[in-house]
């Protein structure tokens, strides 16, 4: 079954919900059409308009008015909580001040962000919070958001007594916990539970004894923390810090002298990040607001950078010493390669390599050499590499690692929808009612993508996980189909059979955009769930439920991984999934589509 005119793949996915909501619009000049439909109110004596859903704080920020904030992070995925009261503003006619981070304006409301009452209240909040902080020079982060705001509102001391402070926790190798600086703003809890959905951090205790805890008040290093570092990035005080920037007393010692914006070098999600560097050494990594990650990172991108300064890392070319022959049973100690190699210049090394390749080609003919490229290279590098093989080696013996992991998916996609590219981004699942994840273990292989699946399940989407292994996403799944290994085609055929037999397919889409449906329907007739259940091990009733759920969804999306593509039936597996999407018209709209993921 395939598309006739490619309409499925032509409709490009839309930007994920919420993306870019943090951008300032300037707020000057004539009102746009959208603004003119918003809510008019008065901010510091000026008539302004709030967009749909905007809080007073967001309108103020869009118009260039800064209001202190601690428990609120104006970043994608973070809801306001309104607990710290650092952002209080005065609303005319109201007896009490309002928390601007959570309060939405109403028509005609008059708000003063800098009245004497509001400023006095904010100063008092900071004075109370400072009473529990260590002296600034002994603080885990004297340049934190907290201290920056304290500077701006000119508070640096407190009249109030300090409470008893929990002991520091240095049990984690990558993160330092120092609750002496904690203001119980709850941002780390939202980071862990709502953004990354790892459910490790919580609040425990009451009153002055309240504190954040990991699991059942375990040391962080012995908790179920997966070290995504989201809580560290969110913490406004330095109570949670990258261990690489504090000393053994938990005082910040490392301040970056420059930053470099880059893309994470690990998996294919494409998370954008910022490297913070001091004296040409990488100090710590922060997530950046890219379309694939919206500031999120996983343990690899955030903390996996020690290899850069590892003493075994080759920084200069090594050239085999004259007289040291290659032997299959020989080993080289990476800490002491000088037994076999000497240092050379790049010119010498490149010249030697080129001469060696040329010698082989001239001696053994132009079919003697071949090249195998890596997906770690850029498009430009891949282009240059094939050029080297074709023009330098003189043959077409060039291949790429992606053809191993993705070839089956590309073959099926080319055959059915005419393009080997995926039709949706990970983040599209924000718009999906039903999400199928099959043959993939995203919490381990693509952890940032997994956060979007978990976010969607948390908001109520039906998550269907198909995998012989009982993997971590199972906890979030509505249906977990642990089929017998190698029986994906039988399981998927059972689902396809139900959709055809019960007439659940999208007749309009099938008629307008596909061909071969009649033959497909005839073929799938023999694969009833009752026949497939003994083969794949999934009960027939569950196959029926999944088929109905997917087919009836307003928007359903399929993500598949190498558990189905790197397989003897890889192309068949992909064909089944593509047929499923096409026959149900679940493609070409927001929240729908087909997405295969590579390593």
Could you give the C-alpha distances from 387 to 263, 361, 369, in angstroms and in order? 26, 16, 13
85 binds, among ligand SF4, ligand FES, none (CB under 5 to 8 A by kind): ligand FES
Distance CA 383, CA 375 (A): 12
69 binds, among ligand FES, ligand SF4, none (CB under 5 to 8 A by kind): ligand FES
186 binds, among ligand FES, ligand SF4, none (CB under 5 to 8 A by kind): ligand SF4
101 binds, among ligand FES, ligand SF4, none (CB under 5 to 8 A by kind): ligand FES
The DSSP symbol for 16 reads P
| Between 82 and 392, CB nearer to ligand FES | 82
**Rounded least distance, CB 127 to ligand FES, Å:** 16
Residue 171 burial class via C-beta count within 10 angstroms: exposed 0-12, middle 13-18, buried 19 and up: middle
| Between 185 and 594, CB nearer to ligand SF4 | 185
User: Which two three-digit tokens encode residue 253?
Assistant: 């010692």
Distance CA 542, CA 558 (A): 18
Distance CA 142, CA 315 (A): 36
The closest of 27, 43, 46 to 35, measured between CA atoms, is 27
| Between 67 and 438, CB nearer to ligand FES | 67
**Rounded least distance, CB 203 to ligand FES, Å:** 15
577 binds, among ligand SF4, ligand FES, none (CB under 5 to 8 A by kind): none
Angle at 258 between CA 253 and CA 264, to 5 degrees: 100
**Rounded least distance, CB 256 to ligand FES, Å:** 26
| Between 54 and 141, CB nearer to ligand SF4 | 141
Distance CA 139, CA 78 (A): 26
**Rounded least distance, CB 229 to ligand SF4, Å:** 5
| Between 87 and 292, CB nearer to ligand FES | 87
Contact 415, 585 (CB under 8 A): no
Q: Which residues pair with 284 in a beta bridge?
A: 276
Which SS3 state, helix, strand or coil, does residue 500 take? helix
229 binds, among ligand SF4, ligand FES, none (CB under 5 to 8 A by kind): ligand SF4
241 binds, among ligand SF4, ligand FES, none (CB under 5 to 8 A by kind): none
**Rounded least distance, CB 430 to ligand SF4, Å:** 20
- What contacts 362, CB < 8 A, 6 or more positions away? none
Give the total of residues touching ligand FES (CB under 6 A).
12
59 binds, among ligand FES, ligand SF4, none (CB under 5 to 8 A by kind): none
Considering only residues 65 to 124 of the shown chain, the ones binding ligand FES according to CB under 6 A are 69-72, 82-87, 99, 101
Using CB under 6 A as the criterion, which residues of the chain lie in contact with ligand SF4 when the complex forms?
A: 182-188, 191-192, 196, 198, 200-201, 212, 225-231, 234-235, 237, 239-240
**Half-sphere exposure of residue 9: CA atoms within 13 angstroms, side-chain side:** 19
Contact 314, 338 (CB under 8 A): no
| Between 231 and 580, CB nearer to ligand SF4 | 231
| Between 117 and 316, CB nearer to ligand FES | 117
188 binds, among ligand FES, ligand SF4, none (CB under 5 to 8 A by kind): ligand SF4
Residue for token pair 């809580």? 231
What does 205-261 look like in DSSP terms, one character per residue?
S-GGG-EEEETTTB-GGGSS-----HHHHH-SSSSEEEGGGB-TTS-B----SEEEE
Angle at 560 between CA 558 and CA 564, to 5 degrees: 135
**Rounded least distance, CB 430 to ligand FES, Å:** 25
**Rounded least distance, CB 232 to ligand SF4, Å:** 7
The closest of 211, 222, 153 to 180, measured between CA atoms, is 211
82 binds, among ligand FES, ligand SF4, none (CB under 5 to 8 A by kind): ligand FES
| Count of residues in the chain | 599
Residue 15 has a CB neighbour count (10 Å cut-off) of 13
| Between 83 and 289, CB nearer to ligand FES | 83
Distance CA 554, CA 121 (A): 48
**Rounded least distance, CB 193 to ligand SF4, Å:** 8
| Between 183 and 578, CB nearer to ligand SF4 | 183
**Rounded least distance, CB 158 to ligand FES, Å:** 18
183 binds, among ligand FES, ligand SF4, none (CB under 5 to 8 A by kind): ligand SF4
Residue 88 has a CB neighbour count (10 Å cut-off) of 25
| Between 41 and 284, CB nearer to ligand SF4 | 284
Residue 372 has a CB neighbour count (10 Å cut-off) of 13
**Rounded least distance, CB 71 to ligand SF4, Å:** 7
184 binds, among ligand FES, ligand SF4, none (CB under 5 to 8 A by kind): ligand SF4
**Rounded least distance, CB 245 to ligand SF4, Å:** 15
**Rounded least distance, CB 271 to ligand FES, Å:** 27
Strand 240-242, strand 175-177: pairing: antiparallel
| Between 86 and 532, CB nearer to ligand FES | 86
333: phi then psi, degrees, rounded to nearest 5: -75, 115
33: phi then psi, degrees, rounded to nearest 5: -60, -40
Residue for token pair 């190498």? 562
Strand 318-320, strand 434-438: pairing: unpaired
| Between 185 and 576, CB nearer to ligand SF4 | 185
Distance CA 587, CA 593 (A): 4
What is the binding site for ligand FES (CB under 6 A)?
69-72, 82-87, 99, 101
């Amino acid at each position: 079954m395939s598309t006739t005119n490619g309409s499925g793949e032509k409709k490009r996915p839309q930007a994920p919900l919420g993306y870019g909501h943090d951008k300032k619009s300037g707020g000057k000049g004539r009102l746009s059409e959208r603004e003119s439909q918003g809510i008019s109110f008065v901010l510091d004596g000026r008539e302004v308009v709030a967009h749909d859903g905007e809080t007073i704080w967001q309108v103020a920020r869009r118009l260039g008015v800064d209001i202190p904030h601690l428990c609120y992070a104006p970043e994608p995925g973070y809801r306001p909580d309104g607990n710290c009261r650092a952002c209080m503003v005065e609303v005319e006619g109201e007896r009490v001040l309002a928390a601007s981070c959570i309060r939405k304006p109403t028509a005609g409301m008059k708000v003063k962000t800098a009245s004497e009452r509001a400023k006095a209240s904010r100063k008092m909040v900071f004075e109370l919070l400072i009473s529990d902080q260590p002296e600034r020079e002994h603080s885990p982060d004297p340049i934190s958001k907290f201290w920056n705001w304290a500077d701006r509102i000119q508070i640096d001391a407190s009249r109030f007594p300090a409470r008893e402070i929990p002991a520091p926790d240095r049990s984690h190798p990558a993160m330092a916990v120092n609750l002496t600086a904690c203001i119980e703003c709850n941002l780390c809890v939202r980071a862990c539970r709502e953004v990354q959905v790892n459910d490790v951090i919580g609040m425990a205790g009451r009153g002055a004894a309240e504190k954040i805890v990991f699991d059942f008040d375990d040391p962080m290093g012995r908790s179920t923390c997966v070290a995504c570092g989201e809580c560290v990035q969110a913490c406004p005080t330095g109570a949670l810090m990258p261990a690489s920037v504090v000393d053994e007393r938990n005082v910040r010692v490392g301040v970056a002298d420059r930053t470099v914006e880059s893309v994470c070098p690990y998996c294919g999600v494409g998370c954008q990040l910022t490297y913070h560097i001091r004296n040409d050494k990488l100090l710590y990594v922060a997530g950046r607001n890219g379309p694939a990650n919206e500031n999120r990172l996983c343990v690899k991108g955030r903390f996996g950078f020690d290899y850069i300064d590892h003493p075994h890392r080759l920084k200069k070319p090594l050239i085999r010493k004259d007289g040291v022959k290659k032997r299959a049973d020989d080993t080289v100690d990476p800490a002491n390669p000088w037994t076999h190699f000497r240092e050379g210049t790049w010119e010498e090394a490149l010249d030697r390599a080129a001469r060696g390749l040329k010698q082989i080609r001239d001696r053994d003919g132009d079919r003697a050499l071949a090249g195998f490229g890596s997906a770690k290279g850029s498009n430009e590098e891949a282009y240059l590499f094939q050029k080297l093989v074709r023009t330098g080696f003189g043959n077409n013996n060039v291949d790429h690692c992606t053809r191993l992991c993705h070839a089956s998916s590309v073959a099926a996609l080319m055959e059915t929808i005419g393009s080997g590219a995926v039709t949706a981004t990970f983040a599209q699942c924000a718009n999906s009612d039903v999400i199928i994840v099959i043959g993939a273990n995203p919490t381990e292989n693509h952890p940032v993508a997994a956060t979007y699946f978990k976010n969607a399940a948390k908001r109520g989407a039906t998550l269907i996980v198909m995998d012989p292994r009982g993997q971590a996403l199972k906890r979030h799944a509505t249906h977990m189909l642990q089929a017998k290994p190698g029986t994906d085609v039988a399981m998927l055929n059972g689902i396809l059979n139900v959709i055809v037999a019960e007439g659940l397919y999208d007749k309009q889409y099938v008629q307008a955009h596909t061909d071969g449906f009649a033959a497909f329907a005839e073929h799938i007739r023999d694969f009833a769930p009752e026949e497939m259940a003994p083969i794949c091990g999934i009960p027939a009733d569950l196959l029926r439920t999944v088929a109905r759920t997917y087919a009836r969804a307003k928007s359903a999306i399929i993500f598949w991984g190498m558990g189905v593509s790197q397989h003897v039936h890889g192309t068949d597996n992909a064909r089944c999934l593509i047929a499923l999407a096409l026959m149900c018209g679940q493609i070409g709209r927001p929240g729908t589509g087909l997405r295969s993921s590579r390593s």
